[in-house]
Structure 1
Amino acid sequence: MRRAFALILLALGVFAVAGAVLLPTYVYPKLTKVPLDQDSTSVLEGTASKVLAVTDKGTGPVAEIRENAKLTATGRVQANFAAPEMHEGTDYAVWLLAVQVVDDADNTVVNASKRQVCFDRHTAEGYDPHGATDPKCDAKSSYVTELKDKADTNGQKPPETNIEKAQPGLNFKFPFGTEQKDYKVYDDNTGTAVTARYTGTETVNGIETYKFVQNIQDTKVATKEVPGSLVGSDQPTVKADLYYRGVNTMWVEPVTGIEVKQQQQQHQELRSGTTSPAVVFDGTLAFNGKTISQMVDQVNANKGRLEFLSSTGPLWLGIGGGVLIVVALVLLIRRRPAEPPAPPRPRRRVPVSAGH
Structure 2
Amino acid sequence: MRRVFGLILLALGVFAVAGAVLLPTYVYPRLAKVPLDQDSTSVLEGTASKVLAVTDNGSGPVSNIREDAKLTATGHVQANFAAPEMRQDTDYAVWMLAVQVTDDADGTLLSASKRQVCFDRRTGEGYEPHGETDPPCAANSSYVTELKDKADKDGLKPPETNDYKAQPGLNFKFPFGAEQKDYKVYDDNTGAAVTARFVGPETVNGIETYKYVQDIPDTKIATKDVPGALVGRTEPTVQADLYYRGINTLWVEPVTGIEVKQQQQQHQELRSLTSAAVVFDGTLAYNGTTIAQMVDQVDANKGKLEFLSTTGPLWLGIGGAVLIIVAIVLLVRRRPAEPPAPRKRRQVVFAQT
Using structure 1 for the length normalisation, give the TM-score: 0.97
Q: Residue in 1 aligned with 2:137?
A: 137
Amino acid at match of 1:133: T
Q: Is 1:341 the equivalent of 2:340? A: yes
CA deviations over 1:28-69 (Å, ceiling 9, x no partner): 000011011100000000000000000001111100000000
Runs of 5+ unmatched residues, structure 2: none
1:38-77 equivalent positions in 2, closer than 5 A: 38-77=38-77
Distance 2:26 2:133 in 1: 30
CA RMSD of superposed structures (Å): 1.3
Give how far 1:345 is off.
2.8
2:137 is aligned with what amino acid? C
CA distance in 2, matches of 1:331, 1:66: 82
Could you say which residue in structure 2 is the equivalent of 1:214?
214
Aligned to 1:316: 315
User: Partner letter of residue 15 of structure 1?
Assistant: F
Distance, in Å, in 1 between the alignment partners of 2:326 and 2:273 is 82
Give distance in 2, aligned partners of 1:164 and 1:132: 18
Q: Which residue does the alignment assign to 1:33?
A: 33
Q: CA deviation at 1:220?
A: 0.2
Partner SS for 2:337: coil
For 2:154 and 2:87, locate their aligned partners in 1 and report how far apart those are by CA, in whole Å.
42
What residue number does 1:103 align with? 103
Distance change in 2, residues 1:127/1:63 (3 Å): same
Number of the residue aligned with 1:194:
194
Match of 2:223 in 1: 223
Q: Quote the residue 2:286 is aligned against.
A: 287
Equivalence for 1:12:
12
> SS at the partner of 1:316?
helix
The one-letter amino acid paired with 1:126 is G
SS of match in other structure, 1:33 = coil
Q: Per-residue deviation at 1:349? A: 6.4
Q: Which amino acid aligns with 1:10?
A: L
- Between the aligned partners of 1:351 and 1:267, the Cα distance in structure 2 is 128
1:164 aligns to what? 164
The Cα shift of 1:342 comes to 2.0
Cα offset for 1:274? Answer: 1.4
Following the alignment from structure 1 to structure 2, what is the Cα–Cα distance between the partners of residues 41 and 292?
11
Partner residue, 1:21: 21
Deviations 1:75-125 (A, max 9, x none): 000000111111120111000000000000000011110000000111110
Q: What is residue 254 of structure 1 aligned with on the other side?
A: 254
**What amino acid sits opposite 2:56 in the alignment?**
D
**Is 1:298 matched up with 2:297?**
yes
Q: Secondary structure at the match of 2:126?
A: coil
CA distance in 2, matches of 1:338, 1:45: 82
- AA at the equivalent of 2:277: A
Structure 1: stretches of 5+ with no match in the other structure: none
User: Post-superposition shift, 1:18?
Assistant: 0.2
Q: CA–CA distance in 2 between the matches of 1:116 and 1:273? A: 35
2:150 counterpart residue number: 150
Between the aligned partners of 1:230 and 1:132, the Cα distance in structure 2 is 47
Q: Which residue of 1 aligns with 2:3?
A: 3
1:87 & 1:333 partners in 2: Cα distance?
A: 53
Q: What amino acid is the match of 1:175?
A: P
Equivalent runs, 1:259-270 vs 2, <5 Å? 259-270=259-270
AA aligned opposite 2:100: Q
Q: Which string of whole-angstrom CA distances, capped at 9 and with x for unpartnered residues, describes residues 305-324 of structure 1?
A: 00000000000000000000
TM-score normalised by the chain length of structure 2: 0.98
- Deviation, structure 1 residue 283: 0.2
Q: When the two structures are aligned, how many residues end up with a matched partner?
A: 353
Equivalent AA in structure 2 for residue 324 of structure 1: L
* Separation in structure 1 between the aligned mates of residue 340 and residue 296 of structure 2, nearest angstrom: 72
